[in-house]
Chains A and B, each alone.
Chain A
Amino acid sequence: MIKLTAIEKYYENRVIKTFVLRNINLEVKEGEFVSVMGPSGSGKTTLLNIIGMLDAPSNGEYYFLDEPVHKMSEKRLTELHKTYIGFVFQSYHLIDELTVYENLETPLLYQRVNSNNRKGRVAETLDRFGMVAKKDLFPNQLSGGQQQLVAIARAVIAEPKLILADEPTGNLHSEQGKEIMDLLKKLNEQGTTIIQVTHSETNAAYGNRIIRLKDGWIEK
């Protein structure tokens, strides 16, 4: 599903090139559950963003479902990540001006899901995440943990083939964290490919493969 060959990412200023990712070769098959680990600043988020097509690599090739992402038009990129990829961020990135319900609804709107279908799916997701009572609240009326729950729910609702989660449980207490991990596991068992970044060995163990990054290199 995902094939990265010799991916590099660096930031340049007038004086120096700072490498964030170096010679990344990585293949992820459909249905895998991959955990990315590594110290802070090692490039985990950058790698995830590149896979998620939010960021372009400086060098290297990236094939997604055998299509060359590095050669794709902006339009096709939007199309691909809209239909195949769901994101969960380290910080929740909910839209402050929208209610929980509306936040969940947003990706479906962009995918032109019709109104009845949309209502059904939002209701179902609210139910599944136990947030029915909170559907009319705004993000700043929720605790951090609850906000992350909404963010995950929002990533899941569009039924993506690939979920990219950047420390999804970082701000949740262990009970909720476990719930989320179980949920991700279940999604994975139903066929969703998942790549998560995590600091926790326990959470990493939910995946069937661990990739360790250090200073931008994949540790062998």
Chain B
Amino acid sequence: MIRNYLKTALRNLLRFKIYSGINIIGLAVGMAACMLIFLYVQNDMSFDKFNKNYNRIYRVVDIWTQNGSVARWSLTPTGYANAFTNDFPGVKAVRLSHGNGPVVIKYGDKLFKTDGVILADSTFFNVFTFPLIEGNPNEALAAPFSIVLSESEAHKIFGTIDPLGKTIRLLNQFDFTVTGVAKDPPRNSSIQFSFLASFTSLPGIYHAPASILNNFNSNDYYTFLLLPKGYQVESIRNSLPSLLTKYKESDIGFYEREKLLLQPLSDVHFSTNLLFDFPNKGDKQYDYILSGIALFILLIACVNFINLSTARSATRAKEIGIRKVLGSNRSRLVRQLMMEFAILTLLSAAIGFVLIELFLPAFNSATQAHLSTNFFDNPLMILSFVAIWILVVVIASSYPSFYLSSFQPVATIKGPSGSGSGRSVFRKSLIVFQFAISTFLITVTIVMWSQYNFLKSHKLGFDGRQVIYLPWSTEIVKNYDAFKQQLLQRPRIESVARTGWLPGNPYDIEGYTWAGKSGGRSDSYYTMMVDPDLASVLRLKFEAGRDFSRNMPTDWSQSFVINEAAAKRMGWTAPEAIGHTLNSSYGEKGKIIGVVENFNIKSLKHEVEPVVMSMDSTHSQRSIVAMRISGKDIPATMTYIKSQWERFSPDFPFDFNFLDESFGRLYNSEQRLSGLFTTASLLSIVIACLGLFGLAAYATQERTKEMGIRKVLGATIPQVINLIAGDFLKLVAVAALIAWPLAYFAMQKWLQNFAYRLDIGLWIFIVSGAIALAIAMLTVSSQAIRAATANPIESLRYE
């Protein structure tokens, strides 16, 4: 019997090549898309879970309040590590610094630029699962000035030489001994490092007393805790308030420590709104949305299956009728049909695998993900693929199976009764469903791209075009004035400034108070050490007062320039703010001499932040050099800057960034998301149109006679085309009507993520509807036109 089934299955497959092809390919594309998205989501969800103890690791989050506004810090003071290990025996703590920006490393006389060096406690390798290739995990980070290299850095610097025990020089100042080589951190690790230096080096690096390792006066380091097995995290959580009070006397009091939180390691990748958090964030919400979309794409493909099979039922009915007459019962028929579908879907799955292999590189580059197709390392993936396959067989075959097997034998042998094309309400609703999803996705995609472009083109209050900035170098800092003079020799370098940081880059925060401030405690403001040229480099505009001036001795240490947002937060208008005295928590004191128009220092997801600028009187600040250059012959200008850099700072590799570009990178995740949605909506519309194509072909074939008669009766060609196309296009239009409000509400909600958002214009809906309609029209009409332009005699002659 099985052979008999297989034979009919195969013959049916070959006999109806178009339908089989559409079914198989549509489903293959759907399954591939679904798997890709699941891979992506799985990767995102797997973040940090490679750590064997991930469910016992927590990060300490420090929450402050200032006059009701809350600051959530992912960084903590150094003192908490000891506090936790003392008060909760068995708990291990590890402190990490965040990468302090590019650092130059010298080995022998070779220079290497690195993304950053992270300081870590010696417990690092006990708490986290980063295997060491060389070195002792318990001791590698114990002694001051020890350093552990990642495998790829070790290879880059040492080649085939054994790095262990060798000395490398950091920042042209500090000699570190290599004590270990660690495997490169996996991509799905929040903690990324290429160099790990021992935390005990901290006093040496900052020329500070050892108490810097155990104090509470500034939040600079991540603290992770590893709880012993079986330890109830709740017991620690409950004693956090008392721990806070116990160590409170040692805080310096310009803010109020509100509370501590313990954040599970597996949540770290998804946390938002923490100050100084790790980059490379995921968003569970997007993961769920994407999974939903993956399922919908699969459903669209299944719907094709259902629609085309039932549409074809008229031709299939006769065989089924005869089988019934010959004694087959219903459940046997259902089984037979299910088997057919299983074969078809298996073919789809196989093609789907090939598609994944083919498109993964493109997908990776579009989404900036690093997924691999090594399924066999990924049992969960294989399992979910099988699950998807079974799901597809059940969904795609259940309706057609029962529909076909319920034919009355006598009626079906005599000839099909019902008509097959897009007539039944069920089939119509399925088409509406498909196109509603497609139109929804198209609308969402357009909104996302528009928002992305809106963000990129929005006025930021500063002008980052043709602003170049160079990394920090001790040598440049030492000879800054000479360096600057040299640069300004070139007329194409318009202005040069020094600043602690720039918009879009890591920032500093400090507390300020002023006379008449309510509440007594200081408020925190974004603080920037600048020089008098920064305003002209960034083209900041003054709202009131004046810029810093080199000729005013008081400006060097007793003046502040703030932005409007800061003035507003302090309770003044721009002109009112001038002349007020501010006290910083570090003891600076000075008058506000100018207020600049607002400028954004963070991505436009955030409102304008309040910024207080002061001049760098000590020159000891880490600072970067920024300059505005002319748009003419930029390469020549760059060559010149590079030659000057190499003259002044031969030990630091030359590197530069354009400010507008580095600011633009803040929207990488929006760009990535728009890319994903573009792919998803393209796929959904392609699959839906494949189905529509099949149905239109079927409807055309079925109604060829009718079309012929109508032509004879005087119908014009457009009228005849409309006979087929009109039906389908109406459905697509209904689908758009359903999709629009859904997309509108979904996007309104999404846009709430941004402080600056575009208005969802009517045009977006018109365009999305027009796209869906146009694609559907092309699909359907190609079929209908052929039939409509044929000579009616051809179809009527042998009736």
Which residues of chain A come closer than 8 Å to B715, judged between CB atoms?
110
Q: Mark B412-431, 1 if CB is under 8 A from A, else 0.
A: 00000001000000000000
B793 touches A55 (CB 8 A): yes
A87 within 8 A of B: yes
Which residues of chain B come closer than 8 Å to A81, judged between CB atoms?
712, 714
Give Cα A107 to B792, complex, Å: 16
B714 touches A82 (CB 8 A): yes
Nearest CB to that of A90 among chain B residues? Answer: B799
Give Cα A97 to B705, complex, Å: 11
A93 touches B714 (CB 8 A): no
B713 within 8 A of A: yes
A111 within 8 A of B: yes
State how many angstroms separate the Cβ of A66 from the closest Cβ of chain B: 21
A59 within 8 A of B: no
* Given A106-B713, A111-B714, A93 contacting B791 (CB threshold 8 A): no
Of the residues A54, A107, A110, contact of B719 by C-beta under 8 Å:
A110
A42 within 8 A of B: no
B796 touches A110 (CB 8 A): no
B709 within 8 A of A: yes
B706 touches A107 (CB 8 A): no
Nearest CB to that of B419 among chain A residues? Answer: A97
Which residues of chain B come closer than 8 Å to A154, judged between CB atoms?
713
Give Cα A54 to B792, complex, Å: 7
Provide the main secondary structure of the chain B interface: helix
A54 touches B710 (CB 8 A): no
Which residues of chain B come closer than 8 Å to A82, judged between CB atoms?
713-714
Q: Mark A68-112, 1 if CB is under 8 A from B, else 0.
A: 000000110010011100010101011111000000001100110
A95 touches B706 (CB 8 A): yes
Give Cα A94 to B796, complex, Å: 11
A171 within 8 A of B: no
Which residues of chain A come closer than 8 Å to B710, judged between CB atoms?
95, 106, 110
B716 within 8 A of A: yes
Q: B residues 702-725 with Cβ under 8 Å of A?
A: 705-706, 708-717, 719
* Given A107-B714, A111-B714, A95 contacting B709 (CB threshold 8 A): yes
Which residues of chain B come closer than 8 Å to A55, judged between CB atoms?
791, 793
Size category, B interface: 10 to 19
Which residues of chain B come closer than 8 Å to A25, judged between CB atoms?
none
Which residues of chain A come closer than 8 Å to B712, judged between CB atoms?
52, 54, 81, 87, 93
Of the residues A75, A89, A97, contact of B796 by C-beta under 8 Å:
A89
State how many angstroms separate the Cβ of A53 from the closest Cβ of chain B: 10
Which residues of chain B come closer than 8 Å to A78, judged between CB atoms?
711, 714, 716-717
A96 touches B714 (CB 8 A): no
Give Cα A94 to B792, complex, Å: 14
Give Cα A67 to B398, complex, Å: 60
State how many angstroms separate the Cβ of A81 from the closest Cβ of chain B: 7
Nearest CB to that of B706 among chain A residues? Answer: A95
A93 touches B709 (CB 8 A): yes
Which residues of chain B come closer than 8 Å to A146, judged between CB atoms?
none
State how many angstroms separate the Cβ of A48 from the closest Cβ of chain B: 11
The 6 closest A-B pairs by CB, nearest first: A82-B714, A110-B714, A107-B713, A93-B709, A91-B799, A54-B793
Where the two chains meet, the residues of B that have a C-beta atom closer than 8 Å to any C-beta of A are 419, 705-706, 708-717, 719, 791-793, 796, 799
Known contacts A93-B796, A110-B719; 9 further A-B pairs (Cβ under 8 A) = A74-B717, A78-B711, A78-B717, A83-B714, A87-B713, A93-B709, A96-B706, A97-B419, A106-B710
13 contacts between A and B (CB under 8 A): A54-B791, A81-B712, A82-B714, A93-B709, A93-B712, A93-B796, A93-B799, A95-B706, A95-B709, A95-B710, A96-B706, A107-B713, A111-B714
